[in-house]
Amino acid sequence: MAQNAEHVLDHVELFRGPEYQQMLANKKKMFENARDPAEVERIREWSKTPEYREKNFAREALTINPAKACQPLGAVFASVGFEGTLPFVHGSQGCVAYYRSHLSRHFKEPSSCVSSSMTEDAAVFGGLNNMTDGLANSYNMYKPKMIAVSTTCMAEVIGDDLNAFIKTSKEKGSVPQDFDVPFAHTPAFVGSHITGYDNALKGILEHFWDGKAGTAPKLERAPNEKINFIGGFDGYTVGNTREIKRIFDLMDVQYTILADNSDVFDTPTDGEFRMYDGGTTLEDAANAVHAKATISAQQWCTEKTLAFIAGHGQEVLAFNHPVGVSATDDLLMALARITGKEIPEALARERGRLVDAMADSSAHIHGKKFAIYGDPDLCYGLAAFLLELGAEPIHVLSTNGNKAWHDKMQALFASSPFGQNCHAYPGRDLWHMRSLLFTEPVDFLIGNTHGKYLERDTGTPLIRIGFPIFDRHHHHRSPLWGYQGGMNVLVKILDKIFDEIDRKTSVAGTDYSFDIIR
Amino acid sequence: MSLARTESIEEIKTRNKDLIQEVLTVYPEKTAKRRAKHLNVHEAGKADCGVKSNLKSIPGVMTIRGCAYAGSKGVVWGPIKDMIHISHGPVGCGQYSWGSRRNYYAGTTGIDTFVTLQFTSDFQEKDIVFGGDKKLVKLIDELQELFPLNNGITIQSECPIGLIGDDIEAVSKAKSKEYGGKTIVPVRCEGFRGVSQSLGHHIANDAVRDWVFDRLTPEKSRFESTPYDVAIIGDYNIGGDAWSSRILLEEMGLRVIAQWSGDGSLAELEATPKAKLNILHCYRSMNYISRHMEEKFGIPWCEYNFFGPSKIAESLRKIAGYFDDSIKEGAERVIAKYQPLVDAVVAKYRPRLEGKTVMLFVGGLRPRHVIGAYEDLGMEVVGTGYEFGHNDDYQRTAQHYVKDGTLIYDDVNGYEFERFVEKMQPDLVGSGIKEKYVFQKMGVPFRQMHSWDYSGPYHGYDGFPIFARDMDMAINSPVWRKTKAPWKAALEPRLMAAE
């Protein structure tokens, strides 16, 4: 018996012991109808070959380990960025349990969201009663300032009409007539979580700017000096949004963060549960129509939203996860141009420090090969920074990237001598990535927690950047954007590079290359 | 010390009843009436807990429940390791349930075992419009080509499948025939069916009956059975629970011919009708198939509980009761062997945990099963309830587990749970990931009781020290002394009481 009260062994060690190993071996041999180990090994080796890669890339119907989630997750993520806002997902309830769990596992934070709990009867008769009762219940219990409605695939398949349902519910007294209930249709079978973010944010702005579903006059735009900033679906929202605010403050820019969910995913432990914390005020959301311009940190996350905003007469501008020197330069210069403000010396010094760090460390990164996967904008931002560092982002894969993304990625590669052997893979998944890593190996992989299976299978060291990060803590508190964010990304990459060198040279009986000075 | 212990049982009952009335005031009248039926204070001697259960959740109330897909894919089928489970429909359901349940298994992932992969048909708009059957046919061919060592396939239906009328049964039959009788199981676990995960368990059980058992051939269950063959049913091997259970059964002389479904395989499912006894850990999720095997194959089943030494010993003796003296002696030998470990664990941890109070809210068995383990450590469960329990779960709870005056809350929602915990000030809350951070923010220690917070196993004698350590770590972590800034603590006596 290995277990001991004084030194408790949990699963990490317990099952490695001989009694459990013997038990598992017996189970396999006697009861599992297990495959011949030689056959397992043969297939495993075959799965690493170009032949397998070809079959793998020929897939048309099957998706394996996709790096994307569905629309309503993005809608919930955007909705909690508004003051006192309760996301309300119209459809079957299990989805909401999944979104809440997913967000909580990433941020290690509560995630509040309700469902209209539709079941078989709603599938037949429609979900109007669920909407009417649901709005009344959540309004009474959770005292929100706004309820932002989105849909699941169930409600979309049966064709529930949110505009009509909300109107009818208000007429029945579920919530007061003037209570804000913006909505967005977010079918899970179209796009991904970034599409849902876009739809929900557009829905909320449309609600405030275009007459609150016919209950108020449309807002007349009276341009002011403010800048709107949209972060997009960003697993680093806590660190990134705060960094952006700091930069705007340093530049003395007046701004509104649209969908500011940085506080709600970073509440203190002090004896109080804050169901709502921070967020863009509803007044600011409405007044954002008057801003001079809107800047989005993520192009493919805000396509419809930016088109909508542009339609109201503002200048709009999108970045692709501004990571690194040039991307931050571009962001600051755009800000300076639009606002007429100067870029302060403090930011110039930060820039210099990032360049200094890159100069100090470039020898370790130069020529290293990377694979990256994630949301399209994140992939772009990281690839652009790697090129700046003299690294080669060989495989860049985005399950929710499209043709336009592919073309823009390839143009980026073409712009740099380090991009010559690099390829973008839109619409592919992590099983495709596995084939890429076996047939065209790279030195490092950048991606979310799910990449740890690729790391184990292919031996490619994983640098965790993306969403979700379940198995490491607190990454979301550090920014990726701006010069300081670039510094964080650089350090993350370097730490992994140095860990790898140490791992490879940590061999008992040798004392070469295991250096204390790098 | 918690407030509960300073009061008499009558005071506690009155307080709990008042508390129920208080939370009901927030609802619109219709909702209050419905929720009132799900909340109660347990009266000793009653046959059940006096609450309604397994009814629809109320729209808009932040229920903690999931759906039928979660019940089938996440619990019953998903952890069968050598089969490929297709999340059939849009991308989300499979993505959110991907690798998140810690159903441990041994195997070469992606080659002959598949639990921690996400296979989906990733429905697009055209699949909704034109139907997904053709895509499913092609998808199964692609699976066969890329994963030739899979031992079977299941099709886990997401919401749209039932709504658009896809005939996944026909696809399953045709493809099975094409692949020489391969086990291909369609599971109609669309998320809108039923009121919670619970119907998904039932549907998944029925799929085992119809698509595995009803297609058994002599060559499929070819091994020699012995008089001591048992099957572990309803242990999903969270953190290795089924293994720390299995080892005890083997030590007492039984032969475990199948694990359902943590580290389980199709061959083990197929072998189960040869068992002499089915032993059932999660009654709620697998009683259906156990009853079926009793009726069809004449295999008796018994429930057991491997949380904490009192219940482990009771369960080992109960299981042994179905066998001859050699097994009964085996059970006593096992109990005696581990007694020194139990004594050492209790000696170490009980002084740190004595008198601490717990509130639980979990799925289908743990709201009652873990009570014994807490009591072994001198702790008291003052409130409990089920996400998706049925009336028979509440009967078992009332008759074997909870004490007089325990607050009972069925399908509790976020609002109610927060109010209950705030007022009752337990020393520990045991529930899931969605509840965890809410209570920690409130300064209340918390353990995830669906997944053991990435710890475990908790079952069996090897699991008990881990359980004890984790509860001690949660409750007695120094972090809870830091939740109030020192310059604010003096102002709030309520939190002093929680010290």
Q: Work out the minimum CA distance from B303 to partner chain A, whole angstroms.
A: 22
Chain B neighbors of A133, CB-CB under 8 A: 30-31, 58-60
* CA separation for the pair A437, A453 (Å, rounded): 12
In this prediction, residues B470-491 reach a mean pLDDT of: 91
Of A186, A24, A12, the closest CA to residue A89 belongs to A186
pLDDT digits (tens, 9 = 90+) for B381-418: 999 999 999 999 999 999 999 999 999 999 999 999 99
Residue tagged active-site, from A114, A153, A442, A489? A153
Contact A24 B89 (CB under 8 A): no
Contact A60 B438 (CB under 8 A): no
Asked if A238 contacts A203 with a C-beta cutoff of 8 angstroms, the reply is no
Of A233, A416, A243, the closest CA to residue A332 belongs to A243
Per-residue pLDDT for A29 more than 60? yes
Q: Which amino acid is at A239?
A: G
Query: In the numeric block, which tokens belong to residue A264?
Result: 């709600």
Q: Which DSSP helix (H) or strand (E) runs through A137?
A: helix A128-142
Chain B residue with minimum CA distance to A131: B59
- At residue B218, the pLDDT reads 81
Contact B341 A3 (CB under 8 A): yes
A390: which DSSP letter?
T
In this prediction, residues A367-373 reach a mean pLDDT of: 98
Q: Work out the minimum CA distance from B394 to partner chain A, whole angstroms.
A: 23
Q: Work out the minimum CA distance from B398 to partner chain A, whole angstroms.
A: 28
Its pTM stands at 0.97
Give the C-alpha distances (Å, rounded to integers) separating A506 from A274, A363, A492, A496, A517: 47, 21, 21, 15, 14
- At residue B1, the pLDDT reads 39
* CA separation for the pair B57, B50 (Å, rounded): 18
Asked if B232 contacts B246 with a C-beta cutoff of 8 angstroms, the reply is yes
Of A295, A192, A247, A272, the closest CA to residue A485 belongs to A247
Q: How many residues does chain B have?
A: 499
Q: Is A301 considered catalytic here?
A: no
R_g (Cα) of chain B, nearest Å: 23
pLDDT digits (tens, 9 = 90+) for A200-245: 999 999 999 999 999 999 999 999 999 999 999 999 999 999 999 9
- At residue B6, the pLDDT reads 64
The CA angle B355-B358-B360, to the nearest 5 degrees, is: 160
Q: Work out the minimum CA distance from B141 to partner chain A, whole angstroms.
A: 9
Q: Work out the minimum CA distance from A25 to partner chain B, whole angstroms.
A: 9
Given A59, A65, A137, which is nearest B28 (Cβ)?
A137
Chain B residue with minimum CA distance to A115: B60
Per-residue pLDDT for B494 more than 80? no
Residue showing tokens 């109107």: A167
- At residue B497, the pLDDT reads 41
Phi-psi region of B402 (alpha: psi -120 to 50; beta: other; left: phi over 0): beta
Per-residue pLDDT for B490 more than 70? no
Residue showing tokens 């085992």: B208
Q: What SS3 class is residue B156? A: strand
Contact B82 A32 (CB under 8 A): yes
Query: In the numeric block, which tokens belong to residue A404?
Result: 């336009």
Sheet arrangement for strand B152-157: A63-64, B119-120, B83-88, B152-157, B184-187
* CA separation for the pair A81, A231 (Å, rounded): 10
Phi-psi region of B211 (alpha: psi -120 to 50; beta: other; left: phi over 0): alpha
Contact A157 B160 (CB under 8 A): yes
Asked if B59 contacts A117 with a C-beta cutoff of 8 angstroms, the reply is yes
Contact A190 B125 (CB under 8 A): yes
Neighbours of A42 (CB within 10 A): 14
Confidence class of residue B376 from pLDDT cuts 50, 70 and 90?
Answer: very high
In this prediction, residues B131-143 reach a mean pLDDT of: 98
* CA separation for the pair B66, B70 (Å, rounded): 6
In this prediction, residues A253-260 reach a mean pLDDT of: 98
Asked if A100 contacts A132 with a C-beta cutoff of 8 angstroms, the reply is no
- At residue A5, the pLDDT reads 95
Per-residue pLDDT for A56 more than 60? yes
pLDDT digits (tens, 9 = 90+) for A272-326: 999 999 999 999 999 999 999 999 999 999 999 999 999 999 999 999 999 999 9
Residue B14 phi/psi, 5-degree rounding, is -65, -45
Contacts of A283 by beta carbon, 8 Å cutoff, 6+ apart: none
Contact A123 B62 (CB under 8 A): no
Chain A residue with minimum CA distance to B454: A11
Share of chain B above pLDDT 70, in %: 96
Chain A neighbors of B106, CB-CB under 8 A: 24, 28
Chain A residue with minimum CA distance to B58: A117
* CA separation for the pair B383, B359 (Å, rounded): 5
Computed from CA positions of residues B79, B80, B81, B84, in that sequence, does the dihedral angle turn out positive or negative? negative
Which of B144, B159, B226 is the best mutation test for A, with the most CBs of A within 10 A?
B159
Residue tagged active-site, from B49, B68, B70, B242? B70
Residue A340 phi/psi, 5-degree rounding, is 75, 5
Confidence class of residue A72 from pLDDT cuts 50, 70 and 90?
Answer: very high
In this prediction, residues A39-67 reach a mean pLDDT of: 98
Chain A neighbors of B254, CB-CB under 8 A: none
Q: How many CA atoms lie within 13 A of A327 on its CB side?
A: 30
Q: How many residues does chain A have?
A: 518
Q: How many CA atoms lie within 13 A of B443 on its CB side?
A: 18
Per-residue pLDDT for B2 more than 80? no
Contact B112 A34 (CB under 8 A): yes
Residue B324 phi/psi, 5-degree rounding, is -80, -175
Per-residue pLDDT for B121 more than 50? yes
Contact B247 A20 (CB under 8 A): yes
CB pairs under 8 A between A and B: 359
Contact A31 B437 (CB under 8 A): no
- At residue B223, the pLDDT reads 79
- At residue A45, the pLDDT reads 98
When the pLDDT of each residue in chain B is averaged and rounded to a whole number, the result is 95
More confident residue, A153 or B495: A153
* CA separation for the pair B468, B51 (Å, rounded): 31
Instruction: Quote the crossing angle between the two packed helices A403-414 and A376-388, to the nearest 10°.
Output: 0
A2: which DSSP letter?
-
Query: In the numeric block, which tokens belong to residue A267?
Result: 């509440």
Contact B341 A189 (CB under 8 A): no
Contacts of B18 by beta carbon, 8 Å cutoff, 6+ apart: none
In this prediction, residues B423-440 reach a mean pLDDT of: 97
Residue showing tokens 């370097």: A494
Chain A neighbors of B58, CB-CB under 8 A: 117, 133, 137
Asked if B61 contacts B92 with a C-beta cutoff of 8 angstroms, the reply is no
Q: Which DSSP helix (H) or strand (E) runs through A464?
A: strand A462-464
Residue showing tokens 């580290």: B263
* CA separation for the pair A439, A52 (Å, rounded): 10
pLDDT digits (tens, 9 = 90+) for A156-212: 999 999 999 999 999 999 999 999 999 999 999 999 999 999 999 999 999 999 999
More confident residue, A188 or B491: A188
pLDDT digits (tens, 9 = 90+) for A383-408: 999 999 999 999 999 999 999 999 99
Residue tagged active-site, from A157, A190, A325, A355? A157
- Lowest model confidence (mean pLDDT) among A90-99, B5-14, B93-102, B197-206: B5-14
Q: Is B419 considered catalytic here?
A: no
- At residue A508, the pLDDT reads 87
Asked if A198 contacts A305 with a C-beta cutoff of 8 angstroms, the reply is yes
Confidence class of residue B496 from pLDDT cuts 50, 70 and 90?
Answer: very low
Chain B residue with minimum CA distance to A51: B146
Per-residue pLDDT for B128 more than 70? yes
Q: How many CA atoms lie within 13 A of B444 on its CB side?
A: 33
* CA separation for the pair B442, B495 (Å, rounded): 10
Confidence class of residue B7 from pLDDT cuts 50, 70 and 90?
Answer: confident
Per-residue pLDDT for A339 more than 90? yes
- Lowest model confidence (mean pLDDT) among A72-86, A145-159, A500-514, B73-87: A500-514
Asked if A419 contacts A367 with a C-beta cutoff of 8 angstroms, the reply is no
Q: Work out the minimum CA distance from A269 to partner chain B, whole angstroms.
A: 4
Q: Which amino acid is at A197?
A: Y
Chain A residue with minimum CA distance to B105: A24
When the pLDDT of each residue in chain A is averaged and rounded to a whole number, the result is 97
Per-residue pLDDT for B47 more than 80? yes
Asked if B19 contacts B419 with a C-beta cutoff of 8 angstroms, the reply is yes
**SS3 for B189-258, per residue?**
CCCCCCCCHHHHHHHHHHHHHHHCHHHCCHHHCCCCCCCCEEEEEEECCECCHHHHHHHHHHHCCCEEEE
* CA separation for the pair B170, B247 (Å, rounded): 41
Asked if A192 contacts B91 with a C-beta cutoff of 8 angstroms, the reply is yes
* CA separation for the pair A122, A247 (Å, rounded): 49
Per-residue pLDDT for B210 more than 90? yes
pLDDT digits (tens, 9 = 90+) for B214-262: 999 887 767 789 999 999 999 999 999 999 999 999 999 999 999 998 9
- Lowest model confidence (mean pLDDT) among A217-231, A352-366, B432-446, B485-499: B485-499
Asked if B15 contacts B7 with a C-beta cutoff of 8 angstroms, the reply is yes
Per-residue pLDDT for A145 more than 60? yes
Q: What SS3 class is residue A210? A: coil
Asked if B461 contacts B468 with a C-beta cutoff of 8 angstroms, the reply is no
Could you report how far apart the first and last alpha carbons of chain A are, in Å?
45
- Lowest model confidence (mean pLDDT) among A507-511, B143-147, B356-360: A507-511
Q: Is B189 considered catalytic here?
A: no
Residue B186 phi/psi, 5-degree rounding, is -85, 135
Per-residue pLDDT for A26 more than 60? yes
